Amino acid sequence: MTRIVAARAALIDIPVETLRTDAVQSFLKQETVVVDLDTDDGASGRGYSYTIGTGGRAVLSMLRDHLLPAVIGQDVRRPEAVWRHAFSQTRATTTGAITSLALAALDTAVWDARCRADGEPLWRAAGGANPDVPLYDTEGGWLHIDTDTLVANTVAARDDGWRGSKLKVGSPDPARDVERLTAVREAVGPGYRLMVDANQGQTLADARALARALEPAGIAWFEEPLPADDVSAHARLVASTSIPVAVGESLYSVAQFKEYLARDAATIVQPDVARVGGITPWLKIAHLAEAFNVPVCPHFLMELHLSLVAAVPNGRIVEYIPQLRAVTTADIAVVDGRATAPETPGIGISWDDDALDDLRVL
């Protein structure tokens, strides 16, 4: 038994490394909520979650006022029990983004402490399916990037060994989306994986029309085409296109993923460990998807998702968007478009404590 004896939370503002735009927003900053746990046998754990500019203080308050006091005395070797105990304090505010983000920061800290206490890396402790994980690039495909630069970025990614690139769609004129993607496909050839992401900006009619226009280009998936709470529209879109439909970055519970899978409304799931409430529910979603023979291709947080995709048999690919380099001492190592899950005990992130202190807001 390894009991929690102290728990702390802080809010860190991490600057965005490059301009990032999509159909509905710009990524202005990463509000990062960090949780630190100490245990009675000397093990420690650090977890985190994030927002892209709003709500960080609310997440911090949820942790400080409710969740952290509740887990003192809990055993980090039992993350399921700790998660359930913390969740029971928040029933009036679930399912919701603030609660899930707060639970995630706590839960990842529990898993970090558990893995450190056991001397195990996360990818093995959570399942150990395959340590070698392919990655795809998103940084070269933001919506504001002009077509020539978009083509150059994608060709460079292919030539560097990346296993795919994601392009943002949702321009005011859909013809621009088609023109951009067609130019990229002609440049990279038929064998390179291309994904498109509309960030919930389409109507069903618009998404169907765009899917028809993009089908000749051979798209690996059409991501977040519609508002995430419209399951029935996603099911109708899936039934009307040969392009796989990917959903999940804006879902916040296991039950929401269950609805999508049970109604054939998604052919790829993209759970974000910070948004679904942590590693504990993320693994449930991955195994649920496995039962439906659906792959997992998570959203963002590559430093953490690398280990989780390596843990599960239906983990397919990790999105490469570096965003923790300002507060870590080591980046994930990429060789020919693939990365190996860290072998260090814990969740595998090398934090820079001084940098975290410098960027601390609360």
- Mean pLDDT for the chain? 96
pLDDT at 94 over 90: no
- In the residue annotation, 284 being an active-site residue is answered as no
Architecture of 4-119+353-358 per CATH?
Answer: 2-Layer Sandwich (3.30)
Q: What digits encode the pLDDT tens for the residues 141-159?
A: 999 999 999 999 999 999 9
Peptide bond connecting 95 to the previous residue in cis, omega within 30 degrees of 0? yes
Rounded Cα distance, 261 and 269, in Å: 9
User: Of these residues, 166, 234, 299, 305, which one is catalytic?
Assistant: 299
Question: For 157, phi and psi rounded to 5 degrees?
Answer: -65, -45
Say yes or no to pLDDT of 24 above 90: no
Classify domain 124-340 at the CATH class level.
alpha beta
User: Would you say how long the chain is, in residues?
Assistant: 362
Q: Over the stretch 48-63, which tens digit does the pLDDT of each residue have?
A: 999 998 999 999 999 9
Looking at 166, 168, 234, 305, which residue is catalytic?
168
Domain positions in the chain are 4-119+353-358, 124-340
| pLDDT tens profile 235-253 | 999 999 999 999 999 999 9
Contact at 8 Å (CB) between 338 and 134?
A: yes
Q: Please report how the helices 231-240 and 254-262 are oriented relative to each other, as an axis angle in degrees rounded to 10.
A: 40
pLDDT over 90 (residue 309): yes
Q: pLDDT > 90: what percent of the chain?
A: 92
| pLDDT tens per residue across span 265-283 | 999 999 999 999 999 999 9
CB atoms within 10 A of CB 13: 15
Cα angle at 326 between 322 and 332, to 5 degrees? 40
Can you give the pLDDT at residue 18? 83
pLDDT band at 91 (very low <50, low <70, confident <90, very high): confident
